[in-house]
């Protein structure tokens, strides 16, 4: 069971996702559903991902964040902003090539009381496998280091 959570708020076309604690695979179905919700909104302006209270974040979640950025660029021509104040999280984002697909800043997001937790989502093992595969393929597309790091995992997931 995950000890983390993802919170969400939207106001006047600004979408905020706040990741708290240890954000892992168990939260990815809710995150993916929220990504779809964001891009179906008519009044889309910007996306902010707040990682100021994130202790750890797994590669599947990072892949979904990369998906979010790619969709944002394709649909509205904007790079989302990631807020991180922890050196280890910032270093992880940089090692994944996120500075290419996000504006990375170190200023906390205003109005944390406006955020609500994303609802839990029960997904079959096959649905989760497909989401993990998609997320890692996206990460592999960011740079050669990621391609090498996740090659074996993607191959294993594709065989199942």
More confident: 109 or 74: 74
Q: What residue spans define the domains of the chain? A: 5-159
Between CA 156 and CA 3 the distance in angstroms is 27
Q: Token pair 């065989």 is at which residue?
A: 159
Measured CA to CA in angstroms, residue 120 lies from 22, 49, 57, 104, 108 at distances of: 15, 19, 18, 28, 26
The reported pTM is 0.78
Kindly tell me if the per-residue pLDDT of 121 is higher than 70: no
The distance from CA 132 to its chain's CA centroid, rounded to whole angstroms, is 12
Instruction: Identify whether the C-beta of residue 38 lies closer than 8 Å to the C-beta of residue 80.
Output: no
pLDDT of residue 113: 65
Find the mean pLDDT for residues 17-35. Answer: 88
Tell me the percentage of the chain whose pLDDT exceeds 90. 41
The average confidence (pLDDT) of the chain is: 86
**CATH architecture, domain defined by 5-159:** 2-Layer Sandwich (3.30)
Cβ partners under 8 Å of residue 125, min gap 6: none
What is the model's pLDDT at position 12?
81
pLDDT, tens only, 36-89:
888 887 777 889 999 999 999 999 999 999 999 998 988 888 899 999 999 999
State both tokens at 35: 């990504």
Dihedral (C-alpha) 74, 20, 126, 153: value to the nearest 10 degrees? 80
pLDDT exceeds cutoff 80 at 117: no
Stated as kind and residue range, the H or E segment containing 105 is strand 103-105
């Amino acid at each position: 069971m995950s000890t983390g959570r993802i919170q969400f708020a939207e106001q006047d076309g600004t979408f905020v996702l706040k990741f708290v604690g240890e954000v892992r695979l168990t939260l990815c179905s809710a995150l993916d559903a929220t990504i779809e919700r964001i891009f179906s909104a008519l009044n889309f302006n910007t996306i902010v991902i707040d990682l100021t209270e994130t202790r750890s974040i797994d590669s599947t979640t990072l892949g979904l964040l990369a998906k979010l950025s790619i969709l944002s660029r394709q649909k509205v021509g904007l790079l989302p902003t990631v807020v991180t104040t922890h050196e280890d999280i910032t270093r992880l984002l940089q090692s994944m090539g996120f500075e290419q697909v996000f504006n990375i800043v170190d200023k906390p997001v205003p109005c944390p009381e406006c955020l609500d937790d994303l609802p839990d989502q029960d997904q079959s093992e096959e649905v989760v496998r497909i989401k993990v595969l998609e997320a890692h393929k996206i990460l592999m597309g960011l740079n050669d280091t990621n391609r090498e790091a996740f090659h074996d995992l993607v191959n294993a997931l594709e065989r199942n």
